[in-house]
Amino acid sequence: MAASVSLGVGSLVWVEDTELAWLDGEVVEVNGDTIKVACTTGKTVVVKASGVYPKDAEAPPCGVDDMTKLAYLHEPGVLQNLKSRYDMNEIYTYTGSILIAVNPFTRLPHLYDNHMMAQYKGATFGELSPHPFAVADAAYRLMLNEKISQSILVSGESGAGKTESTKLLMRYLAYMGGRSAAEGSSQRTVEQQVLESNPVLEAFGNAKTVRNNNSSRFGKFVEIQFDQRGRISGAAIRTYLLERSRVCQVSDPERNYHCFYMICAAPAEDVQKFKLGNARTFHYLNQSNCYELEGVDESKEYIATRKAMDIVGISSDEQEGIFRVVAAILHLGNIEFKKGKETDSSEPKDEKSRFHLKTAAELFMCDEKALEDSLCKRIIVTRDETITKCLDPESAAVSRDALAKIVYSRLFDWLVDKINSSIGQDPDSKCLIGVLDIYGFESFKTNSIFFWCWPSHELAGEFSAYFEQFCINLTNEKLQQHFNQHVFKMEQEEYTREEIDWSYIDFVDNKDVLELIEKKPGGIIALLDEACMFPRSTHETFAQKLYQTFKNHKRFSKPKLSRTDFTICHYAGDVTYQTDLFLDKNKDYVVAEHQALLSASKCSFVAGLFPLLSEDSSKQSKFSSIGARFKQQLQALLETLSVTEPHYIRCVKPNNFLKPAIFENKNVLQQLRCGGVMEAIRISCAGYPTKKPFDEFVDRFGILAPEVLDGSSDEVAACKRLLEKVGLKGYQIGKTKVFLRAGQMADLDARRSEVLGRSASIIQRKVRSYLSRRSFISLRLSAIQLQAACRGQLVRKIYESMRREAAALRIQKDLRLFLARKAYKELCSSALCIQRGMRGLAARNELHFRRQTRAAIILQSQCRKYLARLQYMRLKKAAITTQCAWRGKVARKELRKLKMAAKETGALQAAKNKLEKQVEELTWRLQLEKRMRADVEEAKTQENAKLQSALQEMQLEFKETKELLMKERGAAKRAAEQIPVIQEVSVIDHAMVDKLAAENEKLKSLVSSLEKRIDETQKKYEETNKLSEERLKQALEADQKIVQLKTAMHRLEEKFSDVESENQILRQQGLLKTPVKRIADILSTPEKTPVLENGHHLSEENGANEPMSAMPIKEVETDSERKMKKSQQYDDIDALIKCVSKDIGFSQGKPVAAFTIYKCLLQWKSFEAERTSVFDRLIQMIGSAIENQDNNDHMAYWLSNTSTLLFLLQKSLTGTGAAGAPPRRKPPPTSLFGRMTMGFRSSPSSAQLAAPHLEVVRQVEAKYPALLFKQQLTAYVEKIYGIVRDNLKKELAPLLSLCIQAPRTSKGTALRSGRSFGKDSPSSHWQSIIECLNTLLCTLKENFAPPVLVEKIFTQTFSYINVQLFNSLLLRRECCTFSNGEYVKSGLAELELWCAQAKEEYAGSSWDELKHIRQAVGFLVIHQKYRISYDEITNDLCPILSVQQLYRICTLYWDSNYNTRSVSPDVISSMRVLMTEDSNNAVSSSFLLDENSSIPFSVDDLSNSLQEKDFTDVKPADELLENSAFQFLQE
């Protein structure tokens, strides 16, 4: 496969090695066709140039996720890429559409949780990291969109992880096609049964082998059917070639099937019931020294398997039968034989064998002697007689093992059929997805011959293949042919899609091998069936027949040292087969004695495993071949696969020690060859193995001809001119890629290396020149600095002497100044002291005179004040006496009127008491009636029960009598029929006839009496029912009367409360006209008469001039008036709903609708009402208003209104008995009249009398409807908040997927403008995000949404941005680059600028929510990552990121533009150690972030963000102000 390339000294190459498969090194010498290579391991080798492969020097150290992106697609490149990714815990890699899965041999739970499945749901194939979920999602999407069935083929050797990969695929398909919890709650869903079928089949079909603790010993194809909506509607499981020989033969250190060990570790009652014990005591299990698996509890596995059987649909009785059969097989294995009394006979060896024979017979529920005879004897049927033949002990043991194998095989087939019938298939399903988990194979090398073997034949000396391996290899040949055709088809489709000229590519076809094996007639299987039909055929004659038939076939050969073996050249190597047991294993028949014994079992389950065959079917199936049947199954499988779109997963086992972090190159390479991966690469190399997108091609090879990039932005034209410039031939230019032939990539790289070498020389010359010049400049600068230092020292000395001289002169001058100033200060102080004494004496004399004058004035003013006050008090006393006499006369007149009104109130109270007594009497009568009715009902029930029992007894007697009558009639009829037969007899028994006739008459009379009694019973029953119905009607009428009386009493109470309200108003009116303050105190009125500024009270004229609204209304309210007022109230509610349902805007920054609703509810006393419909109307209005959820402007308007109304309710409403609530003497009236009379207290006239002004927000004692309305309003606020937030997320989601990766730029643009994205402005995607944020912020501001809600919306949105960008960064390798980090960093800077402009009031802590992506991007843009220690990363650079996240970023990092390296291997090792220590914690192992969609605020947060004083200047709706009923809004 090596391409002939021009290699020079310094070229990097791969050379073949016997130990490590391939070694990388550097060419140090070229001698014609041979080259000398210095390998990185330290040794030097000389090889031919045709046997080496070029190495890509710019390949990422952590590999690529799709190996078709490799610059050199060859064996060492593929192997190195897998090894690099495996070292980084990246176990999945694509090769085009093929997924290669390397078994990590450790738990990686974070790769398979529900969050990871959600990430791959709907993602484009190849967009995220390679994963089985991506393959399953691609198949699921193709099935839905194209309506074509899909299939996923999982293959690999034993221990490579096929079973686990199959489980993951089925789990993801169940996740995508599963029903919701509501749909699947009533019964077990199909997807649950499909998933739980895995542990059941694993328990009975999997076993431990040398290289796998859970190896599948059968092939499995699961068909999952889907309906039109993509939901799982049915499933079917098909199995192939169970390894039956393992039941009886186990090699050390392997184990038998898991179910045997499970039942030995079952609960004590099950073990005792089946008479089991330790697994070491059974022959079928103790052939190996391995009884337990590390980390597996067999008792727990037994319970889990039983639970899985329940989910699958296997009943408890069937489970009992299954484990009964399994226990019987174990007991069969412990039956040993010895020679019998007769010649060549056998019998059980000892009492122990007898015990196990008896136990097996009990478990099979068959006869013990019959079981012994079926094991020790054979019955030969001839034409003339039946011959019984005894078997020797060895033959008896073989017969015993044959019985055990056929029973276990039938049990496994029954399990599969039961699972299929329980799950069920959908006949209407048009599409399905099939998952194929086919046999594992092993590769050995003995005498240069490869053997594919079952793991049970992995011991030394047992490397030759048997019949089972022959069938397995046939399967692999068939699937390899299917795989080659698919790969060839995909390669040609890509050429067609890219519209390039291509010719037919020849590939190795294994059709000749398939014809050699399965051709009919003349194939190996046909010859084997033919040999099995002849009783005298042996394996020697079969081998000679093969030698004669295929002696000239190129794929068939005869080993030199064997007379019965043969060798077939398969696509993966030569395999030698031993024919010793071919004939015996190919015969698929059941011993007749075994069939008869078990089909006659008393256990229905055991008998069902061996149904009786009809004579016709037994004659038609005299001979049945396993090989022929397996070939038919395989053909049916391939037909199914041919009508589906295939997807491939190749599982690879990195080492044979089943240990993590070990990668064996030769082992992996052999698996890649046997798995067909290398064949796919060979097919690709036959055409155009190197496929480079235009931008990558220009970036890599643009330096070969820089002139073709100047002034051109067309990458296609640039690629064409570049290839023409370098003179390359045979390439193709597609629509999106450049296609290169094998070897052309190496040629271009060689030329590129030359250009880079010349450029490096120029750079080195320039650098050396720069360093020399810098050294000269440094020396010159040093000399200049030395000279300056010397000159400075001389100048400093001269300056010091000059400074000392100036200091001496300054000291002398200051001393003389001090002495002169001291003499002057002494003289001045003496003069000031004399002046101060003279001025003080004059001031004291003036003060004494002023004090005497002030005392005289005070005495005069007090005397005049006393005389004036004495005169004023005399006048005031005379005036008050006159006023009291007049006001007393007026008050007595008003008191007489009030007493008359009180008498009328007493009459109403008496009527009320009388009605209450009537209600109590009726209530007592109702209770008495109820008790009587209950007694009648009980008596009726008892009577009905007696009548029913009597009726049943009569019916039974009638039925028995009728039967007796029918029997007598039948006997008479038979006797009559017999009479003609014995006509010759002349004697007739007339007595008997008369007796029978008499008995008939008695029976007829008894039947008629019974019928009469039945009719009477039915009449009594009907009368009783009528009586009970009449009493029930009477009780219902009494209930209705009680309800009417209660309603009337409630109305009277309302009237009484209205009268009390009127009396209260009359008292207030009387007090307003009464000027005496003492009377007001006696009547306990809280209002006080206002006092004028001059000290006088209000005069009588002021009270008479009050408006008419303060006068009392009529005492009695008619029904018509009440109805009219109730209708008016409904009209007011309708007017309010109609008004606020519109957009009526804002006032003083507050929503008018919310303020208007609150004022109306407060005025109508709705908060204090026990029952009202206004709250339901408001909630219904809000719900209908927010139906249009896509309009953010509309949502913001209602968010502002609902949150403001909720704030007002939170400040106003207090529950009953709440702390701080004012004490109330009686509940307020709930009637309309009562509320209107209470409203008079807040009328304009009474408001003039009240001292304090009412506030906008008042506290009221809320009833249940108001509290419920508050809860519903809170729910709507949270709902509208979530709608606005989710709308913003929907707008940002497509933009974020574009913002995570920097846009591609052409090489020419990069050369002209530089490669740093950080210096350029962010792309339009980031600007679109900023525009979305600004639009929503402006909308919320325009609608005056509360700042706390705005802050929470943007905080959660930025958290969503952080989660999406960070998760995408960890899932996409192309995003973890230096240039992409600069691009994302520039976008984050724009978001930071937006947060600063939006201010903290609205942005809040939004910027802090981006901490994960900020730290990750900050790590990506560091230049020298390899110098950073682990502590610096975790403590300084990325303290918020977990070890798993840091490890993921470090392993995914690559940089094709700047060639910067990731962190050092020591740091990676430290991270890996920490991850291994914490691997058992599934939560901490997850590296992806979860999105938080909760509601982050409470009602208290909303209340604290607003203030009551903000609503003092809010104006209500203008539309309502025009309505006279809403005039209270103007207050």
- Positions marked active-site: 158-159, 163, 212, 215-216, 440, 442
Please give the structure tokens belonging to residue 996.
């029978």
Q: In sequence order, which residues have a C-beta less than 8 Å from that of residue 792 and are 6 or more positions away?
A: none
Compute the distance between CA of residue 459 and CA of residue 251 in angstroms, rounded to an integer.
8
Please give the structure tokens belonging to residue 1193.
């402007």
Amino acid code (one letter) for 11: S
Q: Cβ(435)–Cβ(624) under 8 Å? A: no
Classify residue 690 as exposed, middle or buried by CB count within 10 Å of its CB (0-12, 13-18, 19+).
buried
Q: Cβ(419)–Cβ(200) under 8 Å? A: yes
Compute the distance between CA of residue 451 and CA of residue 469 in angstroms, rounded to an integer.
9
Compute the distance between CA of residue 394 and CA of residue 392 in angstroms, rounded to an integer.
6
Per DSSP bridges, beta strands 98-102 and 645-652 are parallel
Please give the structure tokens belonging to residue 600.
């006659």
Compute the distance between CA of residue 307 and CA of residue 556 in angstroms, rounded to an integer.
50
3-state secondary structure 671-694: HHHHCCHHHHHHHHHHCCCEEEEH
The enclosing H or E element of 1214 equals strand 1213-1214
Compute the distance between CA of residue 1375 and CA of residue 1026 in angstroms, rounded to an integer.
85
* Cβ atoms within 10 Å of 554's Cβ, excluding its own: 10
| 3-class DSSP assignment, residue 94 | strand
Amino acid code (one letter) for 1042: I
Q: Across the strands, what pairs with 206?
A: 216
On the CB side of 715, CA atoms within 13 Å amount to 21
Amino acid code (one letter) for 810: R
Q: In sequence order, which residues have a C-beta less than 8 Å from that of residue 799 and are 6 or more positions away?
A: none
DSSP assignment of 484-553 equals HHHHHHHHHHHHHHTT----PPP----HHHHHHHH-TTTSHHHHHHHHHHSTT--HHHHHHHHHHHSTT-
Compute the distance between CA of residue 716 and CA of residue 731 in angstroms, rounded to an integer.
14
Distances (CA, A) of 495 to 507, 645, 732, 744, 1499: 16, 19, 10, 18, 64
Q: Cβ(155)–Cβ(219) under 8 Å? A: no
Q: Cβ(223)–Cβ(335) under 8 Å? A: no
Nearest to 1502 by CA among 1270, 1208, 1149, 1183: 1208
Q: Cβ(172)–Cβ(647) under 8 Å? A: no
b (16+ CB within 10 A) / e for 864-878: eeeeeeeeeeeeeee
Distances (CA, A) of 876 to 220, 371, 872, 884: 119, 136, 6, 12
Compute the distance between CA of residue 309 and CA of residue 203 in angstroms, rounded to an integer.
11
Q: Cβ(392)–Cβ(344) under 8 Å? A: yes
Please give the structure tokens belonging to residue 187.
């019964």
Q: Across the strands, what pairs with 102?
A: 652
Count each helix (H run) and each strand (E run) in the chain, helices first.
48, 30
3-state secondary structure 1138-1185: HHHCCCCCEECCEEHHHHHHHHHHHHCCHHHCCCCCHHHHHHHHHHHH
Q: Cβ(650)–Cβ(60) under 8 Å? A: no
Compute the distance between CA of residue 399 and CA of residue 413 in angstroms, rounded to an integer.
21
